[in-house]
C-alpha cells in the first residue's frame, strides 16, 4: 500500500483488472469476514477503495462510490450509523435508515462489498479506546457537537483497520470531517490516501444529505437559501472585493435569516487546513455555514481562492 495511490491509475477498475472477488455484491456483518475479503483483494494485487457512510444513500454517496469504482479494483462501502458521533438529544434514533434500498443501489453501482456491522461488532463489551482529535475538532461543527469528531475519528480508524484500503473517499460537503480525518491519518501514520469529492447538489443548489428527508415542504422551499448565501458571499469577495470577514458574516447572517426560519449556528471564514478564522480574507478560504431549519441541521460550504492585488482587479474586471 502506498500514499502515492492518489494519482495512480485505476489498474483494475471495472473492465478488466485484478479483481479478486467473484462478481456480485457481498454483504458482510462481521469485521473478520470483511477483513479477510479485503485482504484477499490486496493480496491478489488489487487496490481497495473505501467509502464510509451512514446509509440512506443518495446521489452524493453515489458520486463517491462511482469515483471509487473508477479508481480501484475492489470497492467497499460501509453502512453504519455510528452512535459514538451523536450527542445526547441528537437524531441517532431517528436517523433515516433504508438498508434494502441501499443494497440495491450498491449492486447497481457494482460495489464489491457492503460492510454493515451491528453496534456490538464495532463496540463490543469492554470497548474503551477513543481517538481525541484536539483543538481542530472543537472548531465549527465541533463547538456545538462536543465529542462528535472524536466519534467520527474513532469509527473511521476502526473501519480503516478492518478494510485497510489504499484510498478513502470523502465528500467536501463535510469539509471539517476531511480536515480532521486528514489530521488523524497524518498524526497516526495511517497508510491511506483521502480522495475528496465535490459536493453533489439538488437542481436548486441544496447540498444532498440524508437529513434533507426531515424537511417539511415549507422548509424544503427555504433550504436552498443556504447555498445562495454562500454564492453571494463568493461574489462579494471576488467582485466587490470585500475583505472584512466580520462584515461579510453579518451580511450573510441577514441574507440567510430574513424571510426564512433559518437559525444560524455558525458562519465562518477559515483557513481550509487549520480551520483558523481569517479576519482579513486572503488566500484559500473555506466559507462554512451550519444552520437549523426546524428540527433539521444543515451544513454547507464553499472553498474559494481570495485573490490579492492585481489578480483581484483582473477578476473583478472580468466579472468573476
Active-site residue, selected from the candidate residues 11, 61, 94, 148: 61
Q: Which of residues 109-168 bind ligand AMP (CB under 6 A)?
A: none
Residue 85 interacting with ligand AMP (CB under 6 A)? no
**The only residue of 47, 72, 209, 225 in contact with ligand AMP, by rule CB under 6 A:** 209
Q: How many residues does the chain have?
A: 320
Rounded CA separation 278/248 (Å):
12
Is residue 35 packed enough to be buried (19+ CB in 10 Å), middle (13-18) or exposed (0-12)?
middle
**The only residue of 41, 64, 230, 286 in contact with ligand AMP, by rule CB under 6 A:** 64
Rounded CA separation 65/27 (Å):
16
309 is annotated as contributing to ligand binding: no
- Stretch touching ligand AMP by CB under 6 A, among 116-124, 171-179, 247-255, 304-312: 171-179
Binding-site size, ligand AMP (CB under 6 A): 17
C-beta closer to ligand AMP: residue 179 or 249: 179
61 is catalytic: yes
DSSP letter, residue 22: P
58 is annotated as contributing to ligand binding: yes
Nearest one of 141, 131, 211 to 175, comparing CA atoms = 141
**The only residue of 34, 106, 197, 287 in contact with ligand AMP, by rule CB under 6 A:** 197
Per the CB < 8 A criterion, the answer to whether 171 and 197 are in contact is yes
- Stretch touching ligand AMP by CB under 6 A, among 7-15, 186-194, 206-214, 263-271: 206-214
Rounded CA separation 131/259 (Å):
42
Residue 54 interacting with ligand AMP (CB under 6 A)? yes
Q: How big is the chain by its Cα radius of gyration, in Å?
A: 20
Residue 21's alpha-carbon distances to 48, 74, 79, 258, in angstroms, are: 12, 8, 20, 54
Tell me which residues are annotated as active site. 61
Annotated binding site: 54-61, 85, 171-174, 177, 200, 208-211
Binding site for ligand AMP (CB under 6 A): 53-54, 60-61, 63-64, 170-171, 173-174, 197, 199-200, 207-210
Amino acid at each position: 500500500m502506498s500514499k502515492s495511490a492518489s494519482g495512480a491509475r485505476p489498474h483494475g477498475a471495472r473492465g478488466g483488472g485484478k479483481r479478486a472477488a467473484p462478481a456480485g455484491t457481498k454483504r458482510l456483518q462481521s469485521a473478520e469476514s470483511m477483513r479477510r475479503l479485503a485482504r484477499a483483494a490486496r493480496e491478489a494485487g488489487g487496490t481497495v477503495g473505501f467509502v464510509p457512510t451512514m446509509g440512506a444513500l443518495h446521489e452524493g454517496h453515489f458520486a463517491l462510490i462511482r469515483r471509487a469504482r473508477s479508481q480501484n479494483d475492489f470497492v467497499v462501502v460501509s453502512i453504519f450509523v455510528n452512535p459514538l458521533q451523536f450527542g445526547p438529544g441528537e437524531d441517532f434514533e431517528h436517523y433515516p435508515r433504508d438498508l434494502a434500498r441501499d443494497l440495491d443501489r450498491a449492486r447497481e453501482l457494482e460495489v464489491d462489498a457492503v460492510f454493515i456491522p451491528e453496534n456490538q461488532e464495532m463496540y463490543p463489551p469492554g470497548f474503551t479506546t477513543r481517538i481525541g482529535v484536539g483543538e481542530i475538532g472543537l472548531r465549527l461543527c465541533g463547538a456545538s457537537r462536543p465529542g462528535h469528531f472524536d466519534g467520527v475519528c474513532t469509527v473511521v480508524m476502526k473501519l480503516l483497520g478492518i478494510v485497510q484500503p489504499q484510498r478513502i473517499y470523502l465528500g467536501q460537503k463535510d469539509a471539517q470531517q476531511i480536515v480532521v480525518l486528514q489530521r488523524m491519518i497524518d498524526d497516526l501514520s495511517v497508510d491511506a490516501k483521502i480522495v475528496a469529492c465535490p459536493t453533489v447538489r439538488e437542481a436548486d443548489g441544496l447540498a444532498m444529505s440524508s437529513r434533507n428527508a426531515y424537511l417539511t415542504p415549507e422548509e424544503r422551499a427555504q433550504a436552498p437559501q443556504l447555498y445562495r448565501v454562500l454564492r453571494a458571499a463568493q461574489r462579494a469577495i471576488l467582485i466587490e472585493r470585500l475583505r472584512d470577514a466580520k462584515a461579510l458574516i453579518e451580511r450573510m447572517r441577514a441574507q440567510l435569516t430574513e424571510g426564512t426560519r433559518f437559525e444560524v449556528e455558525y458562519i465562518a471564514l477559515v483557513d481550509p487546513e487549520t480551520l483558523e478564522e481569517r479576519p482579513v480574507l486572503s488566500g484559500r478560504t473555506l466559507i462554512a455555514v451550519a444552520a437549523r431549519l426546524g428540527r433539521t441541521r444543515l451544513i454547507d460550504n464553499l472553498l474559494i481562492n481570495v485573490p490579492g492585488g492585481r489578480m483581484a482587479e483582473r477578476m473583478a474586471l472580468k466579472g468573476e
